[in-house]
């Protein structure tokens, strides 16, 4: 049986089908990952991983027979693509199927953050209704929304935002003139003219997009939502801006060093935090798993045909 290494869980039905067709080893569950690799690495021919975990050079170097890195996700930023290309290792992703979920998460975080839903919920649970006054929230309908990255996810966010009568502008290297949104390539100008900024840019870039200056331009009435990658943000600057109320609030699904969340954020009421869960619905994770199964089958079938 072809041996595969999984770096994270997949839904049970996908797991069962993987186990029926392959010899499966779970790196994330191993008590001693090094000992597991010592034992199985020489025969591993595929890695199944997520967008955030990817497959670093150090792991690739341990796997001499590696032929495929099947990412359940769209970002390949955590996969060493140069090394994969050099060794002829396929890298596959699951585009399309998680777009709606990520856009839904962005809207959820936007609503939750502007309307202080987390704070209200904590207050009710603590039996404080009627005892602790809650400040009035920010109206969502009609805000000026700045979307950074108008790819599949950015466009899905814009479609949802349209139903909330939001005035939409976006920053993207490509102006999409067929769409009824204002193109504003200058991030500082976009931040200055937005009530809320949503970061939906592709993960596969090195540049920090959300700098201290962008946060300054967003200003004390502005909100920031991130469903892309934490490393695209100057995270210490974001924490300071939130602590000092130089921006109004943030909704974050992603962080620079997951699963570590800057401790200072845990004490702030103007932040909503999620554990990188934008695509974590049963329906979407099953759809992603189907694509991973197909990519694995194609990889090993085409090889059988050649051999
Ligand atoms: C994945 C992600 O769902 O697609 C990506 O790049 O970061 C996430 O949406 C996650 O990696 C789970 O596999």
pTM of the predicted structure, to 2 decimals: 0.95
pLDDT interval class at 305 (50, 70, 90): low
- Reply yes or no on whether 245 is catalytic: no
* Tens-place pLDDT, residues 37-90: 999 999 999 999 999 999 999 999 999 999 999 999 999 999 999 999 999 999
Q: Given the CA of residue 94, which atom of ligand 1 is nearest to it?
A: 4
pLDDT in tens, 199-235: 999 988 889 999 999 999 999 999 999 999 999 999 9
Give residue 199 CA to ligand 1 midpoint distance, Å.
15
Angstrom distances, CA of residue 151 to CA of 84, 172, 176, 232, 285: 25, 8, 10, 16, 21
pLDDT of residue 155: 98
pLDDT tens digits, 89-135: 999 999 999 999 999 999 999 999 999 999 999 999 999 999 989 99
| Residues lining ligand 1, Cβ inside 6 A | 50-52, 72-75, 98, 203, 278-279
The closest residue, in CA terms, to atom 12 on ligand 1 is 50
Q: Is the pLDDT of residue 158 over 50?
A: yes
Catalytic, 229? Answer yes
Buried b or exposed e, range 255-275, using 16+ CB within 10 angstroms: bbeeeebbeebeebebbbebe
Sheet containing 249-252: order of strands? 182-183, 167-171, 144-148, 196-199, 223-226, 249-252, 271-273
Q: What is the per-residue pLDDT across 192-208, written as a single tens digit (0 to 9) for each?
A: 999 999 999 998 888 99
Q: Which CATH number fits domain 99-273: 3.30.420.40, 3.40.50.720, 3.40.50.280, 3.40.50.1820?
A: 3.40.50.720
For residues 172-194, give the mean pLDDT.
97
User: What is the chain's mean pLDDT, rounded?
Assistant: 96
Cα–ligand 1 centroid distance for 38 (angstroms): 28
> Are the CB atoms for 14 and 37 separated by under 8 Å?
no
155, 276, 285, 295: the catalytic one is: 276
Task: Please report the pLDDT score of residue 254 as a whole number.
Answer: 98
Compute the distance from residue 149 Cα to the ligand 1 centre, in Å.
Answer: 17
**Residue 307 — pLDDT band, cuts 50, 70, 90?**
very low
Concerning whether 276 is annotated as a catalytic residue, the answer is yes
Predicted confidence band of residue 303 (pLDDT cuts 50, 70, 90): low
List the domain boundaries for the chain. Answer: 3-95+282-306, 99-273
Q: pLDDT for 1-39, tens place per residue?
A: 999 999 999 999 999 999 999 999 999 999 999 999 999
Segment 149-153 shows an average pLDDT of 98
Homologous superfamily of the 3-95+282-306 domain (CATH): NAD(P)-binding Rossmann-like Domain (3.40.50.720)
């Amino acid at each position: 049986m072809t041996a595969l290494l999984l770096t994270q869980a997949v839904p049970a039905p996908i797991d069962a089908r993987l186990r029926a067709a392959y010899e499966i080893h779970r790196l994330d569950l191993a008590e001693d990952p090094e000992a597991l690799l010592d034992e199985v690495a020489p025969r591993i021919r595929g890695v199944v991983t997520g967008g955030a975990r990817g497959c670093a050079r150090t792991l690739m170097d341990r796997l001499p027979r590696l032929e495929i890195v099947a990412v359940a996700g769209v970002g390949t930023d955590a996969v060493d693509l140069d090394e994969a290309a050099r060794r002829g290792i396929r890298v596959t992703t699951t585009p399309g199927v998680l777009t709606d979920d990520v856009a839904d998460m962005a809207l959820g975080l936007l609503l939750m953050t502007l309307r202080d839903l987390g704070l209200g919920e904590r207050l009710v649970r603590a039996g404080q209704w009627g005892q602790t006054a809650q400040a009035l929230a920010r109206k969502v309908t009609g805000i000026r929304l700045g979307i950074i990255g108008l790819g599949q996810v950015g466009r899905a966010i814009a479609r949802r935002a349209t139903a909330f009568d939001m005035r939409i502008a976006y920053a993207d290297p490509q102006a999409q003139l067929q769409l009824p949104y204002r193109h504003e390539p200058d991030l500082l100008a976009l931040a200055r003219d937005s009530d809320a900024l949503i970061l939906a840019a592709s993960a596969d870039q090195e540049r920090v997009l959300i700098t201290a200056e962008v946060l300054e331009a967003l200003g004390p009435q502005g909100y920031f939502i991130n469903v892309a990658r934490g490393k695209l943000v100057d995270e210490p600057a974001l924490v300071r801006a939130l602590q000092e109320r130089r921006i109004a609030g943030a909704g974050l699904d992603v962080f620079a060093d997951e699963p570590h969340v800057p401790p200072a954020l845990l004490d702030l009421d103007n932040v909503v935090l999620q554990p990188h869960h934008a695509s974590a619905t049963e329906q979407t994770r099953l759809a992603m798993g189907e694509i991973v199964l197909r990519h694995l089958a194609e990889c090993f079938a085409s090889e059988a045909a050649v051999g």
